[in-house]
Chain A
Amino acid sequence: MAAKRKTPVKTRNPDLIRGVGKYSRSKMYHKRGLWAIKAKNGGVFPRHDSKPKSPAAAEKPPKFYPAEDIKKPLLNKRKSRPTKLRASITPGTVLILLAGRFMGKRVVFLKQLTSGLLLVTGPFKINGVPLRRVNQSYVIATSTKVDISGVNVEKFDDKYFSKEDKKKLPEEKKEDQTAVDTVLIKSIEGVPDLKAYLGARFSLKSGMKPHELVF
């Protein structure tokens, strides 16, 4: 595809109503500068004749014809990319987990991994949720944001979460957890009541209508 312009072209001939432009043919001729193109080319429009075709190489008949016509598979130009992230979920958003053993826990969103899953942390010391992957569909995004600027989440990707030893958690993972959390906890403690908020679970009480709640 040709390179896109930085600003899209504003139409030179705006519609008065559908089908009727503001400027007439002669006005448009002048506006488009066709007179200038002609003048540059000595009174006529420049002609771009097709180049004379170089003689094509003599085609040799193929050596092999298959017995039956083989069907070519259909073209698939799909590119794999992570799930589209909801606009309400940005790094630092407090999410409410809706399923799993941490159901109802309020948790801080760090980043979206290449598989589409969300990387999330409690922080562990506040509510017991470690660095974990979570599906976007099982999450409610609140409008509360935590300042996440001091946290480095570069090293975490989907490979990090593949388990070699299913029984014991390696020490480095514990260190990674504390490394991420200490910075986070400092920014959380800056906001009054936020630590208690993240430590509490969300639940629907009597009279709460989820479709009317603002998160």
Chain B
Amino acid sequence: MPISSFNETMHRCTTDASVHKMHSMLYYHWDTSMHALCIDELIAFDVSILKECIDALPVHRYAFKQILGFNLMHRCTMNPFKRYVEIGRVALVNYGKDYGKLVFIVDVVDQNRALVDAPDMVRSQMNFKRLTLTDIKIDINRVPKKTTLIDAMEKTDVKNKWENSSWGRKLIVQKRRTSLNDFDRFKLKLAKIKKAGMLGRKLAKLKKETAA
């Protein structure tokens, strides 16, 4: 949901002075976008208006107010977390049958579990403990169709982003190293010796030149 329309909504809420209307709008926006905001989007927010809205919420909505306010304020101020669980967040599975797969968080079930999907797997729930969040995020709505997910994935080019990131490259190298044959390991050893030899000779030459 675009930030500009949110700001507008907020503005309308306060000027309207209709608390119920503000409620429903906030609820609606919360469902789709609030937990998807990242810090640079928040900078665009008119934080003062937001504060007014939150303060104007009636007391019995205390919990909601706290959560909403906390989450937004939290991201504005200094906080150690950079990667958030949000819809469209790409995560790496670090335990279980799907170990090593990249998956997209498609919905949040409860405090501990997410609904997770990938082009080559059946959509399923996974505990957050099984996931390691990455920097990559795609723009999807809650629980999209498989084809929509794949389109969004291709639009942000998740595969290439991952394979070019340092984390992704490290994983690829690890995989290559474990798949090496006995003969391959031997050839690798020869190559390392050769490289060390070349470096040594070059170094000796440079030493001689600086000494002379």
Q: Are B181 and A144 in contact (CB under 8 A)?
A: yes
* Other-chain residue from B178, B186, B187, B190 in contact with A214 (beta carbon distance below 8 A): B178
The listed residue (A142, A212, A213) touching B183 by CB distance below 8 A is A142
Report the minimal beta-carbon distance from A95 to chain B, rounded to whole angstroms. 10
A200 and B179 contacting across the interface, CB-CB below 8 Å: no
Category for how many chain B residues contact A: under 10
Chain B residues whose CB sits within 8 angstroms of the CB of A160 once the complex forms: none
The answer to whether B182 and A144 touch across the interface, beta carbons within 8 angstroms, is yes
Give chain A nearest CB distance to B98 CB in angstroms. 20
Give the chain B neighbours of A96 by CB distance below 8 A.
Answer: 182
With a CB–CB cut-off of 8 A, which chain B residues contact A193? Answer: 183, 186-187, 190
- The answer to whether residues A202 and B178 also contact, given A193-B187, A196-B190 and a CB cut-off of 8 A, is no
Contact pattern, A 100-134, Cβ under 8 Å of B = 1, otherwise 0: 00000010000000000000000000000000000
With A193-B190, A196-B190 already in contact, the answer to whether A214 and B180 are too (CB < 8 A) is yes
Contact A197 B179 (CB under 8 A): no
Q: In residues 179-202 of chain B, which contact A (Cβ within 8 Å)?
A: 179-183, 186-187, 190
User: 1/0 per position for A189-215, CB-CB distance to B under 8 A?
Assistant: 000011011001010000000001111
Contacts across chains A and B counted by CB atoms under 8 Å: 34
Taking the closest CB of chain A, its distance from the CB of B182, in whole angstroms, is: 5
Chain B contact surface mostly: helix
Which A residues from 170 to 206 make CB contacts under 8 A with B? 193-194, 196-197, 200, 202
- Interface size on A, as a range, is 10 to 19
A94 at the interface (CB under 8 A from B): yes
Residue-by-residue, is A136-163 near B (CB-CB < 8 Å gives 1, otherwise 0)?
0000001110000000000000000000
Alpha-carbon gap, A213 to B183, bound state (A)? 12
**CA A193 to CA B187, docked complex, whole Å:** 7
CA distance A194 to B183 in the complex (A): 8
Contact B181 A214 (CB under 8 A): yes
Q: Of the candidates B181, B182, B187, B190, which one forms a contact with A202 in the assembled complex, judged by CB atoms under 8 Å apart?
A: B182
C-alpha spacing A162/B198, complex, angstroms: 51
How long is the Cα–Cα vector from A197 to B181 in the complex, in angstroms?
Answer: 12
Give chain A interface residues in 51-95, CB to chain B under 8 Å: 94
Chain A interface (Cβ < 8 Å from any Cβ of B)? 94, 96, 106, 142-144, 193-194, 196-197, 200, 202, 212-215
Write the residues of chain B forming the contact surface with A, with a CB cutoff of 8 angstroms: 178-183, 186-187, 190
Q: Can you name 25 A-B residue pairings with CB atoms under 8 Å?
A: A94-B183, A96-B182, A106-B182, A142-B181, A142-B182, A142-B183, A143-B182, A143-B183, A144-B182, A144-B183, A193-B183, A193-B186, A193-B187, A193-B190, A194-B183, A196-B190, A197-B186, A197-B187, A200-B186, A212-B178, A213-B182, A214-B178, A214-B179, A214-B181, A214-B182
